[in-house]
Structures are given as C-alpha cells and as structure tokens.
Structure 1
Amino acid sequence: MQSAFRRLVLTGLAAVSFGLPASAHITFENKEVKPGATVKFVLRVPHGCDGAATTAVRIALPESLSDAKPQPKPGWMLSLVTENVQNATATPGHDHGGTGNLKEIAWTGGRLEDAHYDEFVFRAAISKAATGRIFVPVVQQCDGAAARWIEIPTDGGSSDDLKHPAPSVRVEP
C-alpha cells in the first residue's frame, strides 16, 4: 500500500515539474530589485546543454548595473572584461582595484554535469534611473555546444514566449 502511494506522489510531482518550463531556463534567485540598491545576484544554472556538461558561464552586464564584483568559484577560473574609462577625478581605492567599468564576467574551466545544478554569484549596484526589467544576457558553454540565454522580449512581450530568454529581475520603485 505504501509503495502505491509513493508511486502516486512521485507521478504527481513529475507531472507538476513538467508543467514548469521556467525551471529549464537560467534564472536569477532575485525576482525584484530597487533602484540605487547594491544587490547580490545569484544566477541559477539548472542543467547543461542537451545532456552535455557546462564548462563556462559568461554574462554581459547591462548599463543599468555598475560597480559589479563577481564571487570566485572553487574549481573555476574567473575572467573579467572592462571598458577602460579615464577619470582624472577618481579617488584611489574607490574603484576596488578596477581599471574601468565591468562589462562581462566569465567563469570558465570548471565542469557542471548536466544532471547537477549550481549557482554563480556577483553583486552590482542598480542604477537609480532603472525601471521595468533588467535583462542580463548569459552564454552557457558546454562540451561541444552552447546555450545563448540572450533573448529579450519586445515591449509588451513576455519572456515566457521565448525559447532562450535572458535572465531578468523586475525593478520595484
């Protein structure tokens, strides 16, 4: 009797999980942010690419995010792409060793098997002028494949209508 109940529960859980397409996408743990706040972004990578292990995660930071600082990840190499900015009035030490605005963050050289889940973390300041949604394009590189989570819905559109939506957060006033 107990095994029949267990099968029923597992079958129900499987049916519910198949009804949640967003779980297959790369998403942020955060759902909402406030303008002017500094936020810890947790990027959730729920699987590899069509069965292949993830070997790199690269993100492009939009203009509405600044002062980004990635969290190193054991077993992964961290690389940054900056836009060099000449600022004669910068106060030494206030850019935390940076040479310009951070534009891209990449975690490479690790291995996240398709059957496993992991998170990649960075923090960033939200622009005081930010409104609507902030989209952060991500390229997930895998053994012999890549998933480009870069699609951004048109005005009035929904990420639910896209095959590879860029992860996003809503800006709350």
Structure 2
Amino acid sequence: MTKRLALVGTATLGVTAAIVLGTAAAASAHVEADATSTAANSYTTATFSVPHGCDGSPTTKLEFQVPKSVIEVTPTVNPNWTITKTTEPYTSGASSSSDEDEAGAVRVTSVIYTAKTPLPADERDTFSLSFSLPDGKPGDRVSFPVVQTCERGTTDWDQVQQTGKAEPEHPAPSIVLTAATATSGDDDAPATTAAASTSTTAQPDLVGRFLGLGGLVVGAVGLVVAVAATRRRDAAK
C-alpha cells in the first residue's frame, strides 16, 4: 500500500512538473519586450526577444511597428541583420512650433531588421530599440506589434493584451507604464532628496562611532579584570 501511494505521488509530481514546464515553454515562445525603464515620460531601451521561427521555418525578417505615441526611435545595430526604417511626415500640432521646425519633420513608423543569414527556428536573437516613453497612467500599455517573416510563412504578433484577461495567442510585445519620476529640471526635488540622503547617512555613522568607542572601553575593562584575576590566582599559589 505504501509503495502504491509512493508511485501515485511520484506520477502526480511528474504530471504537475510537465504542466508547469509546458506552460513556461508556451509563455517564453512569444516575442517579448524587456525595458530598462517603464516610467511614463522616461527614456528607455526595449530589448525584444525572438525565440523561434514560424512553425519550424527560419526567420528572415522582423518588422517592429512603432506606436503613434512614440516619436523618435533609435535601433541598435545587430551584426547579423541589416536595418531599414519607414517614416511618415510628422506635425506636432503645438501652436508654439515654427514653420521651419515643422518643415521636413518625420516620424519613424517601423524598424525592419533583415537577416543576412536566416535565423534557425530553434535559435533565438534579440533586438533593441531606444526611445522616449509617452505620458500616461500607471498600467497603460505601449505596444509594439511585430511581423515575423520566415522562409515559409509569417506570424503577426499584433494582438493587444487586455489587463485582467487571458493572454491572446499572438500578443504584441508591450511595455506597461509605471508612475513618472521627478525630472532633472525640478529644482526642489533633487535638493530634498540630497538633504534626506545626507541626514540618513550621517546619523548611522555617528552612532557607529559611539558604539565602537564603547566597545573599546568594555574591552579594556575586561582585559584589566582578567589580568587582576590572574595575578590573584598566582599570588594564592
């Protein structure tokens, strides 16, 4: 009976592990974005991971579509790929902008990486784009739909992930905004931060010195007592 229970327990653990590993593998199969900063209005570098091809076919091209809320994008060079960009005329709409500033202004609408040698379906690569995140509330998503072209077939990673709902089959990689941080132009915030930092570090240092001095005094007293006790024992002999 005990042996049977052990076998059943082992089988259950094996099935559970298979389910967990299968779920993790499915999740990691998506094109995902990892950003250095997620704060609204901050400058960030998003690294997109492409873990596989299209149903076993090697990847030949990746087109990253830039959302309208992102104006300027700088792609990072990948030695295995060539880079091209598509643009469109851009007008900020701000009343303070001059005609000279608006003339010839363009916005990058997509960044295309074309493989010099097709990326094998069982190998991964990464692609980085640098840009300024737009203004927004914490929890807002900035999505970058990706068209993955392979030697045979294509995959559109363009389905929007709805917060609180199940993940779609081909989700667009996205960055979830967090609260904006104080900018370097805010004169009050840095001064307050510096003052707090100074007071926080100075106090533990002062306490540490007193504790260290107290330890030395206690140690010295202990040494004197020990020497006196030794001399008394020697005298008694």
Q: Scaled by the length of structure 2, what TM-score is found? A: 0.58
Which of residues 101, 107, 112 in structure 2 aligns to 1:90?
A: 101
Which of residues 151, 164, 170 in structure 1 aligns to 2:159?
A: 151
Q: Shift of residue 64 of structure 1?
A: 2.3
* Farther-moved stretch of structure 1 (126-135 vs 114-123): 126-135
1:17 aligns with 2:33: no
- Tell which structure's C-alpha radius of gyration is larger: 2
Q: Distance in 2 between matches of 1:109 and 1:118?
A: 11
SS class of match (1:90):
helix
Q: Distance in 1 between matches of 2:78 and 2:40?
A: 28
SS class of match (1:65):
coil
Change (3 A) 1:120 1:19: same
- The question of whether the paired residues in 2 share the 8 Å contact of 1:58 and 1:107 is answered with yes
1:138 aligns with 2:119: no
Matched residue count: 154
> Greater relative contact order (Cα 8 A, min sep 6): structure 1 or 2?
1
Aligned-pair identity in percent equals: 27
Q: Shift of residue 124 of structure 1?
A: 0.8
- The question of whether the paired residues in 2 share the 8 Å contact of 1:31 and 1:169 is answered with no
Change (3 A) 1:115 1:77: same
What residue in structure 1 maps to residue 168 of structure 2? 162
More strand by share: 1
1:29 aligns with 2:43: no
Q: Shift of residue 36 of structure 1?
A: 0.9
What residue in structure 2 maps to residue 95 of structure 1? none
SS class of match (2:101):
coil
Q: Shift of residue 19 of structure 1?
A: 2.0
Change (3 A) 1:118 1:60: same
Q: Deviations over 1:12-40 (max 9, x none)?
A: 9x834312121010001238611111100
SS class of match (2:61):
strand
Unpaired runs of at least 5, structure 2:
1-13, 92-97, 180-237
More helix by share: 2
Q: Shift of residue 115 of structure 1?
A: 1.1
SS class of match (1:22):
helix
What residue in structure 2 maps to residue 60 of structure 1? 65
What residue in structure 2 maps to residue 117 of structure 1? 124
Unpaired runs of at least 5, structure 1:
1-10, 92-97
Q: Shift of residue 74 of structure 1?
A: 1.1
Which of residues 101, 105, 108 in structure 1 aligns to 2:111?
A: 105
